[in-house]
Amino acid sequence: MVLMRPAMSLRGEVCVVTGAGGFLGKRLVRLLLEEEQTAEIRLLDKQIQPQLLESLEDCRGDTKLSIFEGDIRDSEFLRKSCRGASIVFHIASIIDVKDAVEYSEIYGVNVKGTQLLLEACIQENVASFIYTSTIEVMGPNSRGDPLINGSEDTVYECALKFAYSKTKKEAEWRTLQAHGEVLQNGGRLTTCALRPMYIYGEGCRFLLGHMGEGIRNNNVLFRMSRPEALVNPVYVGNVAVAHLQAARGLKDPQRRSAIGGKFYFVCDDTPPVSYSDFNHMVMSPLGFSIQEKLMYPLWLLYAVCFLMEMLCMMVRPFKRVVPPLNRQLVTMLNTPFSFSYQKAKRDLGYEPRYTWAEARKRTTEWLASELPMERERIRGN
């Protein structure tokens, strides 16, 4: 039996959280305030809503909260944000599964922004850098080869199609390559990357979108994935816990070398289920049902997507049109693709804090609170 050392404290540290105004960022900031007596947390984002600071007053304590609004592609802004800091949680990125964003834009934020932030850490002597990656850097591949209960050692042949997947993969690689870089003060930068599964919970815009589609379809959720295409989503609160555990591990001199330069899959005890059936699991208490079968046979979906992609490519010199669905997204929704968190448990001491029952309850209650406004918004349109 492996006995974990007591977790190091982040007491007195100055932390930077990029994407602090987003879904996961807000949850991590609150967790840091509730569990660690950090000296300062710097909330870095393109824009921070004033309501965020107000919502954190109940757990703020003596920690200083500082707002840094700016562009992650601005090197001077990043140096200013990192000056005097000791830990960076890099969560900010453009998430795009429909290839709706121009490649130059998504590359600039996801890859160049990460590189500039790493350079700022080296110049400003930031010791620890934790990168929020994604399961999509792993696949699935365009053939839809299944992967069941994969680990960090799993070999999976994959040629990534989405610009999002490609840029996150490169940014993760640059992060791990930067491990051990010499800081200006002679110290060494320590990095690691976390690869969460599909993240759900309070504030998940994808769930809101699916709920809106269900409302328009007379409270029947669309089925876009086969029931047997099992994946294992992860609750946002557990992902935040994994980030905290990674930061504690990187601070520990006896564990830093084992963790540094590595990536970890992050999931929890949410039962394996297809994406569409997951939507139904959290929305069925709200009166939603789900289509029994796919809207169309898979072969027909692929054929229609192919035609739409060809048409969009033909008109692209004149106008950028994004199809509502593409072949790679259909593949992702219909490929069994699940992973284990055992390495994160062993190396980081990560344990899911929220059970599936609690995570589901919290998510459904949040969706219930949003339901009246969503119905009103749809009626207004």
CA dihedral 301, 219, 196, 323 (to 10 degrees): 40
Six-digit token string for 178? 């930067």
Q: Of 37, 9, 41, 8, which is closest to residue 25 (Cα–Cα)?
A: 41
pLDDT tens digits for range 90-143: 999 999 888 888 899 999 999 999 999 999 999 999 999 999 999 999 999 988
CA dihedral 168, 174, 179, 185 (to 10 degrees): -120
Cα–Cα distance measured from residue 327 to residue 161, given in angstroms and rounded to the nearest whole number: 10
Cα–Cα distance measured from residue 68 to residue 42, given in angstroms and rounded to the nearest whole number: 7
Q: Which of 107, 164, 235, 264 is catalytic?
A: 164
Cα(first)–Cα(last) distance of the chain, in Å?
Answer: 59
* Contact status, residue 323 vs residue 312, Cβ threshold 8 Å: yes
What confidence score (pLDDT) does residue 3 get?
42
What confidence score (pLDDT) does residue 7 get?
66
What confidence score (pLDDT) does residue 5 get?
53
Q: Is 149 helix (H, G, I), strand (E, B) or coil?
A: strand
> What DSSP letter does each residue of 181-241 carry, written as one string?
PBPTTS-B-EEEEEEE-SEESTT-HHHHHHHHHHHHTTTEE---S-TT--B--EEHHHHHH
Q: Give helix 75-82 / helix 113-123 axis angle, nearest 10°.
A: 50
What confidence score (pLDDT) does residue 381 get?
72
State the amino acid at position 362 in one-letter form.
Answer: R
Question: β-pairing, 14-18 with 40-45?
Answer: parallel
Segments of the chain with pLDDT less than 70: 1-7
Domains of the chain: 14-205+233-270+338-356 (3.40.50.720)
pLDDT tens digits for range 269-315: 999 999 999 999 999 999 999 999 998 899 999 999 999 888 988 88
Burial degree of 331 (CB within 10 A; 0-12, 13-18, 19+): buried
Known catalytic residue: 198?
Answer: no
Strands (E), the chain: 14-18, 40-45, 64-69, 87-90, 128-132, 147-150, 190-196, 199-200, 220-221, 234-235, 262-266, 289-290, 337-339
Cα–Cα distance measured from residue 281 to residue 356, given in angstroms and rounded to the nearest whole number: 11
Question: β-pairing, 262-266 with 220-221?
Answer: unpaired
What confidence score (pLDDT) does residue 61 get?
85
Cβ neighbours of residue 324 under 8 Å, at least 6 residues apart?
98, 308
